[in-house]
A and B are shown apart, each in its own frame.
Chain A
Amino acid sequence: MSGILWHLANVAGVLGVLLTLAGALIMVERRLLALWQDRYGPNRVGPFGLLQVAADMIKIFTKEDWIPPFSDKPVFIIAPCIIMGTVLMSFAVIPFAPAVGVADLDIGLLFFLGMSSLGVYSVALAGWSSNNKYALLGGLRATAQMLSYEVFMALSLMGVVMLAGSFNLRTIVNAQQHMWFCIPQFLGLVVFTVAGIAETHRVPFDLPEAESELVAGFHSEYSGMKFGMFFVGEYLAITLISALIVTLFFGGWQGPILPPLVWFALKTAVLICGFVLLRASLPRLRYDQLMSFGWKIMLPVALLNLLITGAIVVARH
């Protein structure tokens, strides 16, 4: 009985923290961008502008949620739900601490990869159902980008799987007791980070929503909370990729003195700030550059990494 209660508490806690975090990240991102651009950012509402989050929430909930009459209504409505759903589902397999985490799947990593593939449907369907040429272009770009980056995202993780001998994320974390995988799997880390940025379509891979050319890409026609869900999905995806990088390459919850959960949160927070730093400093790629970079550089690097890791693992046995 108490086991079930603990599970329910875990689910509720993870869900609550993540959804709050997604809102708070908007604020964090704006303040950090401002810091790196020698500005202040939102600092008027409440102490240090912290209540800006609440103000933004009230605003987005009370905005008119307009569905364009020319759109494909059911698909239009379901598209933003998909991205939020898949990203939240992916968090189920993340081990936050030894006793904290929703599910302990033996195929955790595969589950994450599957969910991130499903996320492609969200942008593709959003772009298609909007019945707007810019949205469609954004959706097409997003689909092609996410599909091609998915390939070596999965390949880059196979090195980690080989070293840990398991798809289970808890086992992977435990396998990093002596050395974090960011050292033996440095190439894998680089490739996975690049693929992760592309998966979340953040700068410099934000072509699907390139403001200067596509208005807002696949979510041009979205307003109100549906638009908000795309954004929550994006921020959750950033958190997810950061949490995964921490789990797979930086020893997850492991660390001295501080409790495991704090270590996990700290490492993830640093990586999230890294995402914001990327946005603050790098320009957007051209579409053909993005594609050739993925297929001509990242895929061979991921394969090379796989080859070397495989050879080492075989040699050690």
Chain B
Amino acid sequence: MTIRGIDGAKSLLRSMWMVFMHAFHRRETVLYPEEKPKLPARWRGRIVLTRDPDGQERCVACYLCSSACPVSCIALQATEDETGRRYPEFFRINFSRCIFCGMCEEACPTNSIQLTPDFEMSEYNRQNLVYEKEHLLISGTGKYPDYNFYRVAGLAIGGKDKGEAENESPPVDVRGLGL
């Protein structure tokens, strides 16, 4: 009983001493506005639409991001140019709803939609959190500098016919005799 009591008192004093010594430890807090936090490269922040290395929009308006989005914050309308290349007529992300889960990025077949390490997007007006295509589209390629969907896809569009994509053989005429 007495020994247990003394042990208990010792452990109390020891923990008090250890807590007291924390007065001389470095503080873990990052003083945010003055000191910016170092974000990892895969941080899921503000969403952007990227371009391929030729400077064209990567988005093919397949609606996969929109349907993958658990909070339905992505809205878009597909259209085609005269060469058959699909692109979104409008592309709208409501960031007041977005939960930055990254599902859209995972769903995207052309690496177009990407999340970036930027979280400083507060607004005084809620409407300003609705980003249109001109706000989302950036001029660079984002995380995949060399990837160009149309250059590896079999689809024929302006300037690239069937069989002209990378790693693609010319189309075989199945009714011909192979001469």
Interface centre among B12, B16, B25 (most CB of A within 10 A): B16
Whether the pair B25, A38 counts as a contact (CB closer than 8 A) is yes
Q: Is B26 in the interface zone, CB < 8 Å from A? A: yes
Which residue of chain A lies nearest to B22 when distances are taken between CB atoms in the complex? A36
Please measure, in the bound complex, the distance between the C-alpha atom of A233 and the C-alpha atom of B44, giving whole angstroms: 47
B residues in contact with A282, CB < 8 Å: 12, 15-16
Within B9-34, the residues touching A (CB, 8 Å) are 12, 15-16, 18-20, 22-23, 25-29, 31
Q: Is B178 in the interface zone, CB < 8 Å from A? A: no
A-B contacts counted at CB < 8 A amount to 33
B residues in contact with A281, CB < 8 Å: 15-16, 18-20
B residues in contact with A20, CB < 8 Å: none
Interface centre among A36, A39, A40, A297 (most CB of B within 10 A): A36
Whether the pair B22, A40 counts as a contact (CB closer than 8 A) is no
B residues in contact with A277, CB < 8 Å: 16, 19-20
Q: Is A280 in the interface zone, CB < 8 Å from B? A: yes
Given A35-B23, A39-B28, A297:B15 Cβ within 8 A: no
Which residue of chain A lies nearest to B9 when distances are taken between CB atoms in the complex? A190
Within A31-54, the residues touching B (CB, 8 Å) are 35-40
Please measure, in the bound complex, the distance between the C-alpha atom of A281 and the C-alpha atom of B23, giving whole angstroms: 12
Interfacial residues, chain B to chain A (CB-CB below 8 A) = 5, 12, 15-16, 18-20, 22-23, 25-29, 31
Quote the shortest CB–CB distance from A197 to chain B (angstroms): 12
Within A287-317, the residues touching B (CB, 8 Å) are 297
Please measure, in the bound complex, the distance between the C-alpha atom of A277 and the C-alpha atom of B28, giving whole angstroms: 19
Please measure, in the bound complex, the distance between the C-alpha atom of A176 and the C-alpha atom of B22, giving whole angstroms: 35
Q: Is A147 in the interface zone, CB < 8 Å from B? A: no
Which residue of chain A lies nearest to B13 when distances are taken between CB atoms in the complex? A281
Interchain CB contact (< 8 A) of B23 among A36, A40, A278:
A36
B residues in contact with A297, CB < 8 Å: 5
Quote the shortest CB–CB distance from B4 to chain A (angstroms): 11
Which residue of chain B lies nearest to A43 when distances are taken between CB atoms in the complex? B31
Which residue of chain A lies nearest to B23 when distances are taken between CB atoms in the complex? A35
Quote the shortest CB–CB distance from A192 to chain B (angstroms): 16
Please measure, in the bound complex, the distance between the C-alpha atom of A36 and the C-alpha atom of B28, giving whole angstroms: 11
Which residue of chain B lies nearest to A280 when distances are taken between CB atoms in the complex? B19
Which residue of chain B lies nearest to A40 when distances are taken between CB atoms in the complex? B29
B residues in contact with A278, CB < 8 Å: 16
Type the 1/0 row for A166-180, where 1 means its CB is closer than 8 Å to any CB of B: 000000000000000
Please measure, in the bound complex, the distance between the C-alpha atom of A297 and the C-alpha atom of B28, giving whole angstroms: 40
Please measure, in the bound complex, the distance between the C-alpha atom of A37 and the C-alpha atom of B23, giving whole angstroms: 8
Whether the pair A36, B5 counts as a contact (CB closer than 8 A) is no
Whether the pair B16, A38 counts as a contact (CB closer than 8 A) is no
Please measure, in the bound complex, the distance between the C-alpha atom of A281 and the C-alpha atom of B20, giving whole angstroms: 8
Which residue of chain B lies nearest to A297 when distances are taken between CB atoms in the complex? B5
Whether the pair A40, B27 counts as a contact (CB closer than 8 A) is yes
Whether the pair B28, A38 counts as a contact (CB closer than 8 A) is yes
Extra inter-chain contacts (16) besides given A37-B22, A38-B26, CB under 8 Å: A36-B20, A36-B22, A38-B22, A38-B28, A38-B29, A39-B28, A39-B29, A40-B27, A40-B29, A277-B16, A277-B20, A281-B16, A281-B18, A281-B19, A282-B12, A282-B16
Please measure, in the bound complex, the distance between the C-alpha atom of A277 and the C-alpha atom of B22, giving whole angstroms: 11
Which residue of chain B lies nearest to A37 when distances are taken between CB atoms in the complex? B22
Quote the shortest CB–CB distance from B2 to chain A (angstroms): 10
